[in-house]
Structure 1
């Protein structure tokens, strides 16, 4: 089977996280949304996304099934989609879930029959939906990835509570406390948890990533592939190729790719007056009430913070911002900004490229024209949001 995962209006409301990717490339739980669908359906996948992103995230021309990339799969939904016949469309209210069509008609789809889906959906519409749904998605992905398999050997130097733990081949954990009585713990291929770490599930450490000594990791946390994490982390998602390797608190937060959090950086996730948290909304260019009491930091790809940075409750950091210095920065830090406190200036594109080339080289990856073209387009698209 071959599928395409399409962006709907949630691509707009998920900015700045989606400026650099389709919605289905968001990581929530252990896998990205696209990887979940591929695993459930045993399918190859492509993306129907913004034109400038298609140079990296292309669609499959031979796909006969298109699925909403903002929706996370489960067995009931997969079963309903698998039963769709040519020309049929699955919806829930006014939400288009999936449609089945001849590949030659994907650009001019006509539907013969609309089928209402009556069960609940997990749909990612706003950035805070990622960490809010992450504990449940870790549990679902854990079952999906480990069903019928046996974990690699777990060292006897660890203290284990509960049985919902799975190590992929090459995973290393020594002298740590792993508590799965609140949710499963998944340690990916060649990932490592260093000595003295305290881990409470649900928790996922993805391929080639590491947790540093003495880390305190709470439920609902995912560390994506090729990343490093340490300090205190609670109910947060780090997508991959990023680092929060030092002391400092990260809670109810999302970090994109190629981010780096300096030593002793902290974020607040609860207002002093316990009021509901507001986040900057790119569509209205104003603050939106999340109706959440706990909401921390939303940081898009390529952004960095210097040592001792303090992020206020409900801070949104755009693509490729560089934050440093004393004082609390504003609750919205514009894309391609450079500075700290209340003093920011534009982060010139050529300077940003110089840094990105060095960061990619550390992972033995090329910072090629595709990455540059996408970031150049994002730089242009976000000019209206630069608030200095």
Structure 2
């Protein structure tokens, strides 16, 4: 069967991260949503997403297809129902399609479908940006079980202090030196060719993905995910870095999500708790207002390619778009549109030619090309974000 992941109704609620990727390519837990589905289905997938993303994330349609809502984290019950779908059948969760059978070129009319309601209590879904960190502990636990079942971890080095060793899994090529791993609160996964340097202290749930680095003396509280090729130091609590991003120095990052190719300057700090302990509200691109999160702790949401200088201070519940460059003293606004340049003293437009020069340099340092597809996506985001920029 040909499986296609679609963005679904929550795509705009997951901006700024879905400006530059389909919902399926959001990382939560150890794996991206796509990687979870592919692992459990035992096959590759393609994507239905926004038109401007299709050159980088194409869809492959065949005569018979099963469409899957990418915002759901797969479970064994979901997989069993999806693999058994036949023509004119669908699985719904409440009022929304979770998966359905589709023939090539034919319109789908659910009124003519046999609809099965999904009633199992194992639903874990990413519907809002803050779900990425708030549900990260459950996602790490599921991925840990998925990736380690029937496998044996590399040995824990003698000079590494480890608690609850059965919940620590170290992949081949990982390097650990004089660090502390405490998995009493949740599993710890150390990816291939990753490194944890001397003096780092880590509490699970925690995922260090392939080729990522934890620097000396870091203090990391779970549930936290450090994506592939990321570099982190200082203090981190309940955060997700999707990949290729750096928080390499002292400073605090808490209850936050960074996309790819982000960089936080030395001693950057974010607030994750309001002084009056009130619920945090977060910018919502869909309503163009501030949404109720229901959370007391919520920090920074930063889209791909955004960066800030040393000593940057982010207020509670700050949303930074794609390819913003933030610097200066004081607290910048708690909504910074894509391609903004400046800080608390004011913002101007970060022109694409300058932004692309930086992206090329940053990506080349990691052996990744800045492609024409990447440029076209960012050009689209630049134009879409113009209505929110003032300068």
TM-score range, shorter chain: over 0.9
The reply to whether residue 160 of structure 1 matches residue 159 of structure 2 is no
How is 1:204-243 mapped onto 2 (pairs within 5 angstroms)?
204-243=207-246
CA deviation after TM superposition for structure 1 residue 110, in Å? 4.1
Match of 1:142 among 141, 144, 147: 144
For residues 335 and 298 of structure 1, the distance between their equivalents in structure 2, rounded to whole angstroms, comes to 12
For structure 1, list consecutive stretches of 5 or more residues without a partner in the other structure.
none
The answer for the alignment partner of 2:94 in structure 1 is 93
For residues 87 and 183 of structure 1, the distance between their equivalents in structure 2, rounded to whole angstroms, comes to 42
For residues 288 and 61 of structure 1, the distance between their equivalents in structure 2, rounded to whole angstroms, comes to 36
In the TM superposition, structure 1's runs of 4+ consecutive aligned residues that sit over 2 Å from their partners are 109-112
For residues 2 and 261 of structure 1, the distance between their equivalents in structure 2, rounded to whole angstroms, comes to 40
Give the conservation status (yes or no) of the 8 Å contact 1:151–1:167.
yes
For structure 2, list consecutive stretches of 5 or more residues without a partner in the other structure.
none
The answer for the alignment partner of 2:22 in structure 1 is 22
For residues 94 and 370 of structure 2, the distance between their equivalents in structure 1, rounded to whole angstroms, comes to 43
The reply to whether residue 4 of structure 1 matches residue 7 of structure 2 is no
The answer for the alignment partner of 1:36 in structure 2 is 36
Give the conservation status (yes or no) of the 8 Å contact 2:249–2:265.
yes
The reply to whether residue 296 of structure 1 matches residue 316 of structure 2 is no
The reply to whether residue 329 of structure 1 matches residue 329 of structure 2 is no
How is 1:78-117 mapped onto 2 (pairs within 5 angstroms)?
78-102=79-103, 104-105=104-105, 108-111=107-110, 112-117=113-118
Give the conservation status (yes or no) of the 8 Å contact 2:348–2:390.
no
Q: Which moved more, 1:92-101 or 1:134-143?
A: 92-101
Give the conservation status (yes or no) of the 8 Å contact 2:2–2:61.
no
CA deviation after TM superposition for structure 1 residue 384, in Å? 1.0
The answer for the alignment partner of 2:67 in structure 1 is 66
CA deviation after TM superposition for structure 1 residue 371, in Å? 0.5
Provide Cα deviations, 1:310-333, integer angstroms capped at 9, x if missing partner: 000000000000001100001001
For residues 272 and 313 of structure 2, the distance between their equivalents in structure 1, rounded to whole angstroms, comes to 12
For residues 355 and 158 of structure 1, the distance between their equivalents in structure 2, rounded to whole angstroms, comes to 38
Give the conservation status (yes or no) of the 8 Å contact 1:87–1:100.
yes
Provide Cα deviations, 1:36-58, integer angstroms capped at 9, x if missing partner: 00001101110100011011011
For residues 133 and 256 of structure 1, the distance between their equivalents in structure 2, rounded to whole angstroms, comes to 17
For residues 294 and 76 of structure 1, the distance between their equivalents in structure 2, rounded to whole angstroms, comes to 32
Match of 1:312 among 315, 331, 352: 315
For residues 82 and 310 of structure 1, the distance between their equivalents in structure 2, rounded to whole angstroms, comes to 48
CA deviation after TM superposition for structure 1 residue 69, in Å? 0.9
CA deviation after TM superposition for structure 1 residue 214, in Å? 0.5
TM-score when scaled to structure 1?
Answer: 0.97
RMSD (CA atoms): 1.1
